Chains A and B, each alone.
Chain A
């Protein structure tokens, strides 16, 4: 049975997550969607607003999803899958998780990626962040959580556009600087082009990989990452950049690079996506994806998704210098190349580069 795609809808309190979800669920194309929401506060208002049959709604018991996600989410998703397999509920084709407005989406993604009880049956499809078109700028200023939610997303939906125009009040430009790779959608009373909201996971060999990576939207030069807006705002600390290499990387280099990032950057590495030309795997690039220190196993494509056969690694980070990433990647590859070439020379064998 194919893995069930799971998407996460995040966004600050009152940014219209539930309105968006409710509209989506009215669309017949999303009838077979199971929804996991969680209560926040004493009354689960969000739940009451979602118009979908009881069997397909599961409420998490605890208040804040980011604090209890590893237990509750895994248990809830596992329960949904088991009931689906047993025929006790409709055979849903997608799961959507709506986070609380205060939730850090990273632990949610990590739970989905790592827990063996559900990881095999699910695949991460998309992270969607809602941003209030009228109050979004003030929210970004006041709440670092909202910056992280927007920075980590695959898609950003501007909501409440009847109250404010994100293109004229500067919000769109600000969010674009924060997360240039994510497509920006406009919702009108919760209605949005659903076909652009979901999908886009790193499908093997499909053009979706390119759309998923969206490296073209990220500044070419890591030194150009500065956003050019007033200093001191929460989003000033977020840098989005793309590491590019026209020569293949050693597999060991890639492994060491991710290891160093995980060891030293921790939670400041918000997200990393990449399409990597690996020396030992010519013509079959590796797709990598990580959230903070947690990564998927690399996926290997049968071919490059487009004519660009070079390494592109998109990084979204908090307070980290892109030039450090550049230097680290080169320095590690230099060490690995020297080690392998030296060992090959000592053994009288040709090096990998020599074939």
Chain B
């Protein structure tokens, strides 16, 4: 996984100003842990990845995804919707990352890219046909 710089300059300054407002809005409680863990482990199952998801002992906002190979991916949430992804490969020494992604959709996309690049993927298509037909759509 390639490391990327994120949040420098004016945007970073703006983020720092907003941080106090955001930090109080996400409650990292048991329900949040359970919900997020379910999303991650469910996604791994969909991609056919044999891995476990556990709370990160070093970070109440994070999880460790452990693979049978010994590799681990640490994901960490920062309010309101930012996710940092760090890869630790055994034998590689240094950690790679963190990559940062906005929101769960970005996190899931990044994890699939790292763990199951060949898993079937799609994209949302909004068709041209109105559900109610032409007349209703014109109402």
Q: CB of A230 within 8 A of chain B?
A: no
Interface of B is mostly: helix
Complex CA gap A296/B34 in Å reads 33
Q: Is the CB of B131 within 8 A of A263?
A: no
What 1/0 flags go to B100-119 for Cβ under 8 Å of A? 00011100110010000001
B120 / chain A contacts, CB cutoff of 8 Å = 266-267
Partner of B133, one of A110, A123, A326, A341: A123
Closest A residue to B77 by beta carbon equals A335
Asked if A264 contacts B108 (CB within 8 A), the reply is yes
Within 8 A of B (CB), among A252-268: 256, 258-268
B134 at the interface (CB under 8 A from A): yes
Tally A residues with Cβ within 8 Å of B. 63
Question: Does chain A have a CB within 8 A of B11?
Answer: no
Given contacts A331-B39, A339-B80, contact A119 B22 (CB under 8 A): no
Binding-face segment, B43-51, B62-70, B84-92: B43-51
Interface string of B67-97 (1 = CB under 8 A from A): 0000000000001110000000000000000
Out of A113, A260, A345, name the residue touching B127 (CB < 8 Å): A113
**Is A223 an interface position by the 8 A CB rule?**
no
A299 engages B131 (CB within 8 Å): yes
Query: Closest CB of chain A to B30's CB: distance in Å?
Result: 13
Contacts of A1 in B (CB 8 A): 134
Question: Is the beta-carbon distance between A265 and B46 smaller than 8 angstroms?
Answer: yes
- Tell me if A263 and B21 are in contact (CB < 8 A): no
Query: Interface residues of B toward A: which range?
Result: 35 or more
Task: A1 to B133: give the CA distance in the assembly, Å.
Answer: 10
A114 to B3, CA, bound (A): 39
DSSP majority for the A interface? helix
B63 to chain A, nearest CB (A): 12
Task: Please report the C-alpha to C-alpha distance between residue A326 and residue B35 in the assembled complex, in whole angstroms.
Answer: 9
Say yes or no: is A323 at the interface (Cβ < 8 Å to chain B): yes
CB-based contact A342/B122 at 8 Å: no
Answer yes or no: B2 CB below 8 A from chain A CBs.
Answer: no
B10 within 8 A of A: no
Q: Is the CB of B43 within 8 A of A295?
A: no
Q: Does B38 sit at the interface, judged by CB under 8 A?
A: yes
Known contacts A259-B124, A264-B108, A324-B39; A338/B131 CB under 8 A:
no
Which residues in B have their C-beta under 8 angstroms from that of A335?
80-81, 103-104
In contact, A114 and B35 (Cβ under 8 angstroms): no
State the Cβ distance, A208 to closest chain B Cβ, in Å: 10
- Closest residue of A by beta carbon distance from B139: A204
User: Does A332 sit at the interface, judged by CB under 8 A?
Assistant: yes
A163 interface contact, C-beta 8 A: no
Q: Mark A284-327, 1 if CB is under 8 A from B, else 0.
A: 00010100111111110000000000000000000011011011
| CB contact between B123 and one of A123, A267, A293, A345 (< 8 Å): that residue | A293
Chain B residues near A259 (CB-CB < 8 A): 105, 124
Measured between alpha carbons, how far is A355 from B127 in the docked complex, in Å?
Answer: 33
Flag if B80 contacts A204 (CB, 8 Å): no
Q: Indicate which residue in A293, A299, A327, A337 contacts B38 across the interface (CB closer than 8 Å).
A: A327
Q: Is B6 in contact with chain A by the CB < 8 A criterion?
A: no
A119 touches B122 (CB 8 A): no
Rounded to whole angstroms, the CA-CA distance of A341 and B18 in the bound complex is 11
Instruction: Name B132's contact: one of A112, A123, A341, A346 (CB within 8 Å).
Output: A123
Query: For residue B119, which residues in chain A have a CB less than 8 angstroms away from its CB?
Result: 264
Interface membership of A330, Cβ < 8 A? yes
Residues of chain A within 8 A of B36, CB atoms compared: 327, 331
Within 8 Å by CB of B112, from A264, A293, A297, lies A264
B18 adjacent to A324 (CB under 8 Å): no
Of the A-B pairs whose beta carbons lie under 8 Å apart in the complex, a sample of 6, sorted by A's number, is: A201-B133, A263-B108, A297-B130, A298-B131, A327-B39, A328-B104
Contacts beyond the supplied A3-B130, A296-B130, A346-B21: 19 A-B pairs with Cβ under 8 Å: A3-B134, A110-B127, A119-B130, A122-B133, A123-B132, A202-B131, A256-B104, A263-B123, A267-B120, A268-B46, A295-B124, A296-B131, A321-B42, A324-B46, A327-B36, A327-B39, A331-B39, A339-B22, A342-B80
Q: What residues make up the interface of B, taking CB atoms closer than 8 Å to A?
A: 17-18, 21-22, 25-26, 32, 34-36, 38-39, 42-43, 45-47, 79-81, 103-105, 108-109, 112, 119-137, 139
